Amino acid sequence: MTPETFITTVFFTVQTGQHVLDIGAGQGIFARRFVDRGAHVVAVDPRGFELNEHLLTARRLTIQKFIINDSAHYDLIFARNVLQFLEKHWVFATLFPWITDHLATNGVMAIETFFAEPKPPFSKPLISTYELAELRTAWLQWPELLAGQYEYHGPDMQGALRHFSTTDFVIQLP
């Protein structure tokens, strides 16, 4: 399994007219790719961008603040490389139940987390690590579309080779 396997699996679930929430969207690279597939996208990131276009709404908010006021339902909730920066207790006690309540019938939740020793440009320590087994325990009743935990060596944003531990988890609400 590779990061590309995760992205490919997720993108094939998105169809025209569906609603997508991109948690930790950054500058909107994946949000824009979902829009290119015809989805209506809400992108949330505290260091991201503000935008309100035809199919894309971007909010500069933490996910903690966003979920307080959001009542929408989504066909896909996408969280790539963001959960490791959140307190694990809050993720399991608050975020995951919120996702359960806000996924549409047949909706997909896609999580990818990583662990690597912090160094620039990611100098903030990673708060949480997520093992596949604990994610499976939280979502036992939902069928998996993709699940895996793997390690790889690859370039970071500066091009330096680093060791990453990654967990991918994609499930679908029945």
Peptide bond into 3 cis (omega under 30): no
- What mean pLDDT do residues 130-144 have? 86
CA distance 141 to 58: 32
- What Cα–Cα distance (Å) separates residue 106 from each residue in 17, 32, 103? 14, 22, 8
pLDDT tens figures, 13-63: 999 999 999 999 998 999 999 999 999 999 999 988 888 888 999 999 999
| 3-state SS class at 41 | strand
Residue at 22: amino acid letter: D
Nearest to 37 by CA among 24, 63, 60, 19: 19
